[in-house]
């Protein structure tokens, strides 16, 4: 069985500014590369799970999200960081119903099954309670951080 670190995107990986969808606004937080490298060295898979409700609301297109994710993966690759998968929900309850939007745990459960993850040895790092709640529904330990704060602050919480 594998173990994983599940990560929210906005506020955890990149600077949270509200509906980040343009490349010029996508700024990876300062210590993210270093901390993700440490997680990989500890044997964790890295999986991003993000709500992107701006798509459902018509604020931006799914293609813009794909551009950001491609850029993010390229930047990670330059730093020898592999993201096993990015799952993102394009829905919002005011516009469309779904079971993939956090705090629901569908994407966490999908990743657990797909990558043979031991949930009890895994963590979900997020800046909103819905992030950690999604992980905890699937048996993953939640770590709640303040948006845009250094990930180094939580290293002592990850085995």
Catalytic-labelled residue, pool 8, 25, 104, 131: 8
Asked if 133 contacts 142 with a C-beta cutoff of 8 angstroms, the reply is yes
d(CA 68, CA 75): 11
Domain layout of the chain by residue ranges: 3-93+100-157
24 burial (CB, 10 Å; 0-12 / 13-18 / 19+) is: exposed
Give the residue ranges of DSSP H helices in the chain: 32-41, 62-78, 106-114, 129-137
The question of whether 94 is a catalytic residue gets the answer no
What does the block give as tokens for 17?
């500014």
Q: How does pLDDT run across 49-84, given as a tens digit for each residue?
A: 999 999 998 889 999 999 999 999 999 999 999 999
C-alpha R_g of the chain:
15
d(CA 134, CA 138): 7
Residues in the chain, how many?
Answer: 159
pLDDT of residue 35: 98
Other residues' Cβ atoms within 10 Å of the Cβ of residue 45: 20
pLDDT of residue 139: 98
pLDDT of residue 95: 81
pLDDT of residue 73: 98
Q: How does pLDDT run across 94-151, given as a tens digit for each residue?
A: 888 899 999 999 999 999 999 999 999 999 999 999 999 999 999 999 999 999 999 9
The question of whether 31 is a catalytic residue gets the answer no
Q: How does pLDDT run across 31-52, given as a tens digit for each residue?
A: 999 999 999 999 999 999 999 9
Which one has a higher pLDDT value, 93 or 116?
116
pTM of the model: 0.96
- SS3 state at 89: strand
pLDDT of residue 94: 83
CATH match of 3-93+100-157 with 3.40.50.1110: no
């Amino acid at each position: 069985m594998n173990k994983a670190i599940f990560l929210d995107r906005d506020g955890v990986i990149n600077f949270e500014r509200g509906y980040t969808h343009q490349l010029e606004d996508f700024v990876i937080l300062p210590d993210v590369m270093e901390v993700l490298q440490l997680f990989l060295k500890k044997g964790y898979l890295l999986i991003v799970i993000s709500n992107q409700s701006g798509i459902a609301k018509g604020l931006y297109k799914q293609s813009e999200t794909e551009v950001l994710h491609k850029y993010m993966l390229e930047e990670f690759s330059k730093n020898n960081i592999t993201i096993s998968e990015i799952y993102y929900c394009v829905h919002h309850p005011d516009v469309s119903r779904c079971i993939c939007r956090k705090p629901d745990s569908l994407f966490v459960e999908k990743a657990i099954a797909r990558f043979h993850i031991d949930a009890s040895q895994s963590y979900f790092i997020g800046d909103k309670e819905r992030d950690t709640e999604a992980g905890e529904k699937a048996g993953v330990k939640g770590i709640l951080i303040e948006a845009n704060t250094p990930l180094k602050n939580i290293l002592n919480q990850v085995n």
